[in-house]
Amino acid sequence: NADRILCGVAQMPHAWLRASAIKPHIHWTKPTGSADEVSWEFYTRIIGNPGDSPGAWSDPMVGVITAGDQTANDDHLLTSFGEVDMTGTHESAMLAWRLYRRGSTDADASTVRLLELDFHYQIEKLGTTTEIPAP
């Protein structure tokens, strides 16, 4: 019944299609399956590239289960958060992120297991020829 937070930083690869949106999602399980909803929220803050000023934190992106059966014990679930607009950034850009399980407000008081967080993104090349790509 408590809120839990996990924070981190991601750096876009040099193969990424600059300024294209990214799609974060999490993989997780419910050891005891039920129809009770688990509330996930995701926030981002674009740090950018060297010389950029960090942006503000985003509004909460509410998670939606897009694969798996939460009523089955230990079923592998995938929860998506929509797209993150990366307009104005280029290869190697960084973003900070925060993932919350809102245990104080969700309907499921049971334990869940977060397996991992990842970002889907488009690529357009094998990489860049410089360590710090030009805008």
CA–CA distance, 99 with 119 (Å, rounded to integer): 13
Q: How many CB atoms lie within 10 A of CB 92?
A: 19
CA–CA distance, 34 with 37 (Å, rounded to integer): 8
Q: What is the pLDDT of residues 66-78, one digit of tens each?
A: 999 999 999 999 9
Q: What is the mean pLDDT of residues 30-41?
A: 96
Residue 44 has pLDDT above 90, yes or no: yes
CA–CA distance, 14 with 52 (Å, rounded to integer): 17
> Which residue type sits at 79?
T
The residue assigned the tokens 């740090």 is 47
| pLDDT of 84 | 97
| pLDDT of 25 | 98
Q: What is the mean pLDDT of residues 89-112?
A: 94
Residue 35 has pLDDT above 90, yes or no: yes
* Residue 132: band (very low, low, confident or very high) from pLDDT cuts 50, 70, 90: confident
Contact indicator for 42, 63 with CB cutoff of 8 Å: yes
| pLDDT of 71 | 97
Closest CA to 24 of 39, 38, 12: 12
* Residue 1: band (very low, low, confident or very high) from pLDDT cuts 50, 70, 90: confident
